[in-house]
């Protein structure tokens, strides 16, 4: 009888730990920073003094100009360039050698949405 009680308590304890661990895993992603929000947070200070609404410009660049870039490596390099310098830029060492030839065409693709974001971010 005592052994059964110990086994029952052990099983209940393990199930409580398992449920707690599962709940912690479910909650963990909400603690991660929002990539878009993090980009705007890093980008906006670079736009201060140049533009009237830096957050709107950064949001627009993220949602429209960078969204035009389908390749993940090039998009991440572009977002890094904007957040570090305040202007769309891609350093060649930020992308794999095999994709460095795509930097020029990427800027051609984002030229119109970038200008739209810089000069009329509300549209």
Look at residue 20 in the predicted model and tell me its pLDDT: 54
Mean pLDDT, 10 residues at a time, the chain of 123 residues? 58 55 52 83 90 92 94 96 92 95 96 91 60
Look at residue 52 in the predicted model and tell me its pLDDT: 87
For the record, the structure tokens of 65 come out as: 């100009």
pTM of the model: 0.69
The b/e string for 60-70 (b: 16+ C-beta within 10 A; e otherwise) is bbbebbbeebe
Distance of CA 11 to the CA centre of its chain: 42
């Amino acid at each position: 009888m005592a052994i059964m009680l110990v086994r029952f308590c052990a099983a209940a304890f393990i199930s409580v730990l398992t449920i707690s661990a599962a709940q912690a895993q479910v909650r963990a992603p909400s603690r991660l920073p929002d990539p878009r929000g993090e980009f705007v947070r890093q980008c906006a200070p670079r736009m201060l003094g140049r533009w009237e609404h830096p957050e709107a410009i950064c949001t627009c660049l993220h949602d429209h100009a960078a969204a035009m870039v389908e390749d993940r490596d090039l998009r991440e390099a572009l977002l890094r360039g904007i957040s570090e310098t305040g202007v769309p830029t891609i350093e060649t060492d930020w992308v794999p050698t095999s994709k460095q030839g795509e930097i020029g065409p990427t800027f051609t693709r984002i030229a119109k949405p970038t200008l739209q974001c810089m000069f009329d971010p509300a549209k």
